[in-house]
Amino acid sequence: QSALTQPASVSGSPGQSITITCTGTSSDIGYYNYVSWYRHHPGKAPELIIYDVTDRPSGVPDRFSGSKSGNTASLTISGLQAEDEADYYCSAYSSTTTLYVFGFGTRVTVL
């Protein structure tokens, strides 16, 4: 069982905004700002889209934004596009023996 809790699915129409939440504990999301988000099209390599809670790697459009409040991190996708239909995973550094914890994943569907 993954340590971070994400909704199983989120959907939206093209152009809309959606938000995916990721809830952890005071040992991971709540304590450190090492939260990252990954987009995974099945059968392909996962892609990093957000790191250190809010930062975007070079080449990732600013439609993707991250935030954190307490033990919960969030990923917002604005101007939803067909290519955004994928699985999204959050991850965080943890002070437990499981150094890096992941969420179970959220399937984003573009209606």
Partner 1 sequence: EVQVVESGGGLVQPGRSLRLSCEVSGFPFDEYAMHWVRQAPGKGLEWVSSITWRSGRIDYADSVKGRFTISRDNAKNSLYLQMNSLRPEDTAVYYCVKDISRFGELPPSHAMDVWGQGTTVTVSS
Question: What is the footprint of partner 1 within residues 60-99 (CB under 8 A)?
Answer: 89, 91, 93, 97-99
**Residue closer to partner 1 (CB basis): 17 or 95:** 95
Q: Does 26 bind partner 1 (CB under 8 A)?
A: no
Q: Are 108 and 8 in contact (CB under 8 A)?
A: no
- From the list 9-17, 42-50, 66-74, 77-85, the region that binds partner 1 by CB under 8 A is 42-50
Q: Does 31 bind partner 1 (CB under 8 A)?
A: no
Q: How many CA atoms lie within 13 A of 10 on its CB side?
A: 22
Question: What is the footprint of partner 1 within residues 2-21 (CB under 8 A)?
Answer: 2
Instruction: Pick the binder of partner 1 from 24, 51, 75, 77 (CB under 8 A).
Output: 51
List of residues 6+ apart from 10 with CB closer than 8 A: 18, 19, 20, 106, 107, 108, 109
Token pair in block for residue 88: 């999204």
Q: Does 47 bind partner 1 (CB under 8 A)?
A: yes
3-class DSSP state of 61: coil
Question: What is the C-alpha separation between 4 and 25, in angstroms, rounded?
Answer: 8
**What residues make contact with partner 1 under the rule CB under 8 A?**
2, 32, 34, 36, 38, 43-48, 51-52, 57, 89, 91, 93, 97-105
